[in-house]
Structure 1
């Protein structure tokens, strides 16, 4: 598609040029460029040619200049770019009137620019747009690479990009939080616009992370455009550039990408430093729960350094990726992939803590992600908040792999974190003992009913029936007595005397019923796994019975 004179004004070299006459002709097509200062220049011009001149041939002869303009108009030339201040000092009035009448553009080129340089840029633009983009992008890459090698900060890099583009520029992290900005955002008007810009990004993070354009109503419908900057995190950071859609050539997207690559390397370097700090933090947590730090003063001091306050109640939450199915087993063969997955989940849990406004510190211990949440008082309301927080985190994290959570009882001092951690691990292991996945389990045993209530009824019925077999729905008096006896027996920690006393039956009757039930269910109540399975089945029985009562009542 042929370019017009108007199109040339996106070139950097044309930015300071002024149209002196013939404005209506700026839609004329431009196909080639000629440079000449001779009176017979018309012999070398043709249709859609643009003449670049110093005006030397016309400095004492405005009439000759008018004749050349008429002849160029007849040939349908594009127009004339002239260095007015070089020889003419100003455009003669009769020349201006003629150019306006013919809609023949005459454009003034500042004296600090050379005709040759302008000609080269115009011809590159007309004939090889991509080559000029590449040249500029490589120039930008060199500038930014030199800055990175010299250890310039992210703010310096973003400031330099804003300078290159002559556009206000922001760098946001994957959550839409500001990391760095160009100096434009220190101006009062941009300070007011900044919250609106960031809100636009946060309201549609998915689009912003992929690269999108958003209107900013308070800025006379100006737009911002986001460019993803990849890092070691699952989601990219974002460069936000004001009015990127109107960037002058050759400030192209290719140049932005080159600058973005250098910013990306700098972010990755900073993340590596952050990972080293994370390792030190995890070493402290391992020392804490394995009781390798004995002095209370040292525990409180180091805990405070990592954000754990001494005067608050705390709970421990452990999170693990569920090891279920062939896909996970396959994944285990590739340590790099499992490492990336752990990094991603760590980052997502960190995001959830920030987004949920939780007072929490995140650690890792072997396969577990560990969160220590702190509260002035751990009330029932706080338990509800924690449950909602974990449910939301679970929904947001789960993709190809499910995750489960175990939650401890509250502790009064960070010196007891070891106890809380053990409780949280026991809570999650109890869920895994039941072959469950994607669950949330509180340490308190009484809450196993709440845990089971979250599972699909068809799964509960299947577990209930497979465990209790013929005793699943007892109708005969003998079967009802067997189920009742086993329930009391298990709740009495398998003590025959206690069971006998509570049911008002003889010890031998208890023994007989226990033995008969073990034969029917093909299990041993002295086996912890069998005992736990039957206990859970009995709890499921009470849930199914409550469901039936609700249906009957309705």
Structure 2
């Protein structure tokens, strides 16, 4: 059996040693470990040895030092581990130069590490790899457990993990409220396929990931919460090759970090629930004392007299299922919103994500608000799941608590009417709803049904049995500002055909398009028709 020089550097006392020259030879196998303290050691070597020495036999002879490296290389020796301090203050430059030239590894042994600290563990590995693997794993697990139990922080945890694996370690999280150290290089996220593989296997896997301009082998361990992957630990195979023990260490590390993530998530969920409660009190509790509300609001930098606009966010169909507005979705939105508007308050209200956006003096212009909302929705599509957040309804800018409550009501009305009139835009503004704001009031639903039957309902019934498309023609007529030529071109029909249809509309409905009041009846009837089946028996 054998072990590579690279793998041996993760065993016993060699963990604290450093390769100082000959990095190109780290893949060489080690089959034995021996000590050199006599001049003619080379003739006793059989090849594939790790040689431990203080350099005493060649300490004062530069030529002998260079010849030693050449002879060891020729004899098939795997590496030379040097412990200076006693006979030489540091490893001579001649040895380092010669070793680099021929790709022969030179390892520097720290003063406090004895030969036995290296010899015994490496030989044990060679003869019984599994036993040493378990010993090193237990030692690594003990170190990681101590860091976790002593709450030394994720930064210390990652640093220690890098020390144990002798490689670069990065941690990624889908939770923006978890503060992680910045990666030392530009990091591309895992692909959806790689995320799916982690979710399915639930254990560390080998993945090739892009490191700067090259692709390197990595061990990626999932950070799991409730059966879902919410982050990962990656051990980048940049400095040394991966060994069997690295997989086991990352398995242990992922379990510990999953617990740490869970603690932070619980803390965040509690804080988010407080935010939700504050929003509910702010929007719905008419009897709450303003002084209490002000004290509560100070925590979220809320100004009782300030200007705010209320936004409601929903999924693709304009609704949210109860399980869709969990804390992770709210967190994603909160992260995206507060990157641009730190003073915003984000919470869950009535199974919708509610955003209370502060508006500065001079920023309450309608067009400015619309541009800000477009920017925000674009950010949300980047930072959040598009299936969970794809629509936005916007109330009007108002001041004070009563004004904010009105803005919430308007945003809620807008999102309700958006579904009724089949509004295709991603953002619907209450200001732009026009007459729908009146027709959408619950108190007028019954009257709207009668109104519909008396106006457009007659045309709808006629169209069911005839091919004149009267409702479509009437809608196009109003959309083209009652211009006969433009309407006929829009419908791809002759202008005389359009005139015939307009006359037919007047006959069937009983309302003339030449009289302002009667024309208004048909126009409003179309708006009710746009409101959908809620007004139609």
* Smaller-chain TM-score bracket: 0.5 to 0.7
**1:405-554, aligned counterparts within 5 Å?**
405-434=392-421, 439-444=426-431, 446=433, 469=463, 470-472=469-471, 473=473, 475=498, 476=500, 477-481=502-506, 502=517, 533-534=528-529
Counterpart of 1:81? Answer: 51
CA RMSD across the alignment: 5.2
Counterpart of 2:330? Answer: 346
Between the aligned partners of 2:170 and 2:121, the Cα distance in structure 1 is 30
Between the aligned partners of 1:404 and 1:25, the Cα distance in structure 2 is 56
1:385–1:180 Cα change, 3 Å: closer
Counterpart of 1:549? Answer: none
Structure showing the higher helix proportion among its residues: 1
Q: Deviations over 1:132-182 (max 9, x none)?
A: 55543443233222333344433443454355456676656437898244x
State the 1:408 CA deviation: 0.9
**1:38-57, aligned counterparts within 5 Å?**
51-53=33-35, 55=37
1:244–1:347 Cα change, 3 Å: farther
Bigger shift: residues 146-155 or 422-431: 146-155
Instruction: Name structure 1 gaps, 5 residues minimum.
Output: 34-50, 182-193, 333-337, 450-462, 489-498, 505-509, 518-524, 538-554
Q: Is the 8 A contact 2:314 2:392 kept in 1?
A: yes
Q: Is the 8 A contact 1:315 1:420 kept in 2?
A: yes
Between the aligned partners of 2:388 and 2:177, the Cα distance in structure 1 is 28
Bigger shift: residues 138-147 or 234-243: 234-243
Counterpart of 1:191? Answer: none
Between the aligned partners of 1:300 and 1:487, the Cα distance in structure 2 is 58
SS in 2 for 1:364: strand
Between the aligned partners of 2:225 and 2:26, the Cα distance in structure 1 is 48
Q: Is the 8 A contact 1:2 1:29 kept in 2?
A: no
Counterpart of 2:101? Answer: none
State the 1:273 CA deviation: 1.1
Work out which of the residue numbers 290, 296, 303 in structure 2 matches 1:309. 303
1:378–1:215 Cα change, 3 Å: same
Q: Does 1:272 align with 2:266?
A: yes
Q: Is the 8 A contact 2:333 2:383 kept in 1?
A: no
State the 1:383 CA deviation: 1.6
Between the aligned partners of 2:143 and 2:169, the Cα distance in structure 1 is 17
Between the aligned partners of 1:19 and 1:163, the Cα distance in structure 2 is 14
State the 1:502 CA deviation: 3.4
State the 1:302 CA deviation: 2.4
SS in 2 for 1:386: helix
Q: Is the 8 A contact 2:7 2:241 kept in 1?
A: no
- Aligned pairs, how many? 431
Q: Does 1:139 align with 2:109?
A: no
SS in 1 for 2:311: strand
Between the aligned partners of 1:256 and 1:248, the Cα distance in structure 2 is 11
1:222–1:467 Cα change, 3 Å: same
1:77–1:242 Cα change, 3 Å: closer
**1:384-395, aligned counterparts within 5 Å?**
384-390=371-377, 393=380
Bigger shift: residues 166-175 or 261-270: 166-175
Q: Is the 8 A contact 2:282 2:293 kept in 1?
A: yes
Work out which of the residue numbers 260, 263, 273 in structure 1 matches 2:257. 263
Bigger shift: residues 369-378 or 339-348: 339-348
State the 1:276 CA deviation: 0.9
1:480–1:128 Cα change, 3 Å: farther
Q: Does 1:298 align with 2:292?
A: yes
Q: Is the 8 A contact 2:393 2:428 kept in 1?
A: yes
1:446–1:435 Cα change, 3 Å: closer
Between the aligned partners of 1:323 and 1:311, the Cα distance in structure 2 is 35
SS in 1 for 2:408: helix
Q: Is the 8 A contact 1:352 1:393 kept in 2?
A: yes
Q: Is the 8 A contact 2:209 2:215 kept in 1?
A: no
Q: Deviations over 1:211-261 (max 9, x none)?
A: 7755569xxx99997956636597744657787543786872542442243
1:485–1:53 Cα change, 3 Å: same
SS in 1 for 2:326: helix
State the 1:82 CA deviation: 4.0
Counterpart of 1:281? Answer: 275
SS in 1 for 2:308: strand
1:467–1:84 Cα change, 3 Å: farther
Instruction: Name structure 2 gaps, 5 residues minimum.
Output: 84-108, 196-206, 437-456, 464-468, 475-497, 533-537
TM-score normalised by length of structure 1: 0.60
Q: Does 1:369 align with 2:353?
A: yes
Q: Does 1:378 align with 2:353?
A: no
Between the aligned partners of 1:178 and 1:418, the Cα distance in structure 2 is 32
Q: Is the 8 A contact 1:171 1:180 kept in 2?
A: yes
TM-score normalised by length of structure 2: 0.62
1:160–1:78 Cα change, 3 Å: closer
Between the aligned partners of 2:69 and 2:184, the Cα distance in structure 1 is 45
Between the aligned partners of 1:29 and 1:197, the Cα distance in structure 2 is 30
1:153–1:447 Cα change, 3 Å: farther
Q: Deviations over 1:364-400 (max 9, x none)?
A: 1131111111211211122222134235535764555
Bigger shift: residues 230-239 or 253-262: 230-239
Counterpart of 2:106? Answer: none
Q: Does 1:161 align with 2:165?
A: no
1:403–1:448 Cα change, 3 Å: farther
Q: Deviations over 1:419-462 (max 9, x none)?
A: 2211111111112234668853222354689xxxxxxxxxxxxx
